[in-house]
Amino acid sequence: MPNNRAVILGGGTMGADVAAIFAAGGMGVDIVQRPGKTRDSLQARVARSVGELGAAKFDLLLHDTLRDVAWKDAGIVVESVSEDLLLKQNIFAELEALAPADIALTSNSSSFPISEIARGLKSRQRMLGLHFFMPAHMVPLVEVVRSDATDPAVAQAVFELMQRLHRKPVMVAKDIPGFLANRMQHALMREAWSLIERGIATPEDVDIAVRYGFGFRYVAAGPILQKEMSGLDVNYLASSTVFPDLCNDAKPAAKLQAKVKAGDIGMKSGKGFYDWPAEKIARVRANYNAALKKGIGILNMESNKGAAEAVADDFSGVTQARAVWDFSSGDGKIFLERIRLIDNALDLLRDRGIDAHFVVTLRGAVLRLVAMDIGRTSFAGDVIEAEHQQKIRAELQALAARGVKVEACLYSMRKRGVEPGNVPAFVVLEENVFANAIALQNKGYAFMRVD
């Protein structure tokens, strides 16, 4: 993908969040969306999602039509218009004529296989599905879906681009209906609707059973890994008993059909299986987004070591690594995650014979954590604060014992009323650690800011 702009077709909810992924990853973004209410709010919606991904600046251009795009700068196209097969087919026919011949043309469709969308076109080898999940900027998974005509090299290039944008892609080798994740999701939903329709469980009980039962485990392990842990023999025996009684209907449940026919379609109409007054919608959506962010944090903890391995492998032939980690965040959870990432990096670098010189600089709100300044941090309750702070001090002391220099900023302490005498002895007190960090950066140290 030689060029560095992503062209997104459609600026609705999904299109805006997909655009944010590319923008937060440093790519320029062009969105094609006709004038109207959706277009009017587009800039603000993309900005909000980019901000939730931890970025601030982004390069976004809006266009009325495909012909307005500067196609020579395009590196990839993602179609994200409404689920209308004829509309998508017409768009791809126009794209084939307008877009450079060497860029991937992808569709975010959840309903139509790319083989149907691309039917009859001459350059089907560069066309594939690129299926995100709502909210696209929050849910890491992306399905890269090949048709029989898709060039595997094109699909692999898109796969690797998604990795660079901090997504979690999976390669789907055949564009069957529902691809990979939605097939499994719909299998679950078919059984859920059936249980409700048969009077075996209420909608509330179905939600609780998934969230607090087997669904709770999915953030830690997928279904296959779970059964590897519990034993395939156990799963085989249970399947032999349960499979014959599972719902195998070829049509949606009558109860679901009746809700849709009555217009009771959920939050959009104010009523579904639950009632949805405006204030409840706002509260549930806020809780939902907050839970997704925490889930991402858990998954990132798992990937930290993998990320450190990738960095270490990139230093083949290098004998020395130097980095300064500048901490100012008052969020103890983030602090602990980053300290453990440093610890993993030390292991991996030194296992490869690389001499690691790391410096940790502490300033701002983080000093209250290190100085055990109970009652003035972001944690709720003195006991919880003390527990987190003890962990932080222990992790920092372990780093210091491994040769990492830990510096605390006297200037920040005076500014925040933190007592230097409460800082543990293994922490070196310096007048201005930020100035020290910049000086080290000028000497060739990598500069890692955590705030």
Range list of H helices, 198-249: 203-212, 214-217, 223-230, 232-242
Geometric angle at alpha carbon 280, from 279 and 283, rounded to 5°: 90
Give the CA distances from residue 400 to residues 167, 279, 352, 359, 395, in Å, rounded to whole numbers and listed in that order: 34, 50, 21, 9, 9
Average pLDDT on 283-295 reads 87
The confidence score (pLDDT) of residue 377 equals 44
Q: Which residue has the higher pLDDT, 416 or 42?
A: 42
Geometric angle at alpha carbon 294, from 186 and 14, rounded to 5°: 50
The confidence score (pLDDT) of residue 10 equals 96
Q: Is the pLDDT assigned to residue 110 strictly greater than 60? A: yes
Which structure tokens are listed for 320? 């020395």
The confidence score (pLDDT) of residue 314 equals 52
Average pLDDT on 156-183 reads 94
Would you place residue 4 in the very low, low, confident or very high pLDDT band (cuts 50, 70, 90)? Answer: confident
Would you place residue 278 in the very low, low, confident or very high pLDDT band (cuts 50, 70, 90)? Answer: very high
First vs last C-alpha separation in the chain: 33
| C-beta of residue 25 within 8 angstroms of C-beta of residue 54 | no
Q: Count CA within 13 A, CB hemisphere, residue 384.
A: 8
Of 105-109, 207-211, 361-365, which gets the smallest average pLDDT?
361-365
Task: Give the class (CATH, top level) of 5-178.
Answer: alpha beta
Strand partners of residue 143: 131, 170
The confidence score (pLDDT) of residue 376 equals 47
CATH superfamily of 182-262: N-(1-d-carboxylethyl)-l-norvaline Dehydrogenase; domain 2 (1.10.1040.10)
Would you place residue 351 in the very low, low, confident or very high pLDDT band (cuts 50, 70, 90)? Answer: confident
Average pLDDT on 50-68 reads 91
Average pLDDT on 53-79 reads 93
d(CA 416, CA 341): 28
Side chain identity at residue 3, one-letter code: N
Share of the chain above pLDDT 70, in %: 90
d(CA 386, CA 393): 10
The confidence score (pLDDT) of residue 386 equals 62
Which structure tokens are listed for 44? 């603000």
Which structure tokens are listed for 236? 């085989």
Give the CA distances from residue 368 to residues 379, 419, 436, 451, in Å, rounded to whole numbers and listed in that order: 11, 9, 20, 14
The confidence score (pLDDT) of residue 208 equals 95
When the pLDDT of each residue in the chain is averaged and rounded to a whole number, the result is 87
Average pLDDT on 217-238 reads 90
CATH superfamily of 305-450: DsrEFH-like (3.40.1260.10)
d(CA 48, CA 42): 10
Q: Are strands 127-132 and 141-145 parallel, antiparallel or unpaired?
A: antiparallel
Average pLDDT on 248-274 reads 95
Task: Please name the residue that has the structure tokens 């009017």.
Answer: 40
Classify each residue of 209-219 as buried b or exposed e, where b means 16 or more C-beta atoms within 10 Å of its C-beta.
eeeeeeeeeee
* Greatest alpha-carbon span in the chain: 75
d(CA 259, CA 413): 61
Q: Which residue has the higher pLDDT, 1 or 164?
A: 164
In tens, the pLDDT along 362-374 reads: 888 778 777 776 4
Which structure tokens are listed for 42? 């587009």
Question: Strand, coil or helix: what is 428?
Answer: strand
DSSP element (H, E) containing 100: none
| C-beta of residue 423 within 8 angstroms of C-beta of residue 408 | yes
The confidence score (pLDDT) of residue 450 equals 66
Q: Is the pLDDT assigned to residue 58 strictly greater than 70? A: yes
Q: Is the pLDDT assigned to residue 313 strictly greater than 60? A: no
In tens, the pLDDT along 111-154 reads: 899 999 999 999 999 999 999 999 999 999 999 999 999 999 99
The confidence score (pLDDT) of residue 391 equals 80
| Length, in residues, of the chain | 451
Q: Which residue has the higher pLDDT, 43 or 367?
A: 43
Which structure tokens are listed for 153? 């090299």
d(CA 264, CA 262): 6
Q: Count CA within 13 A, CB hemisphere, residue 91.
A: 29
Average pLDDT on 161-187 reads 94
Domain with CATH 1.10.1040.10 in the chain: 182-262
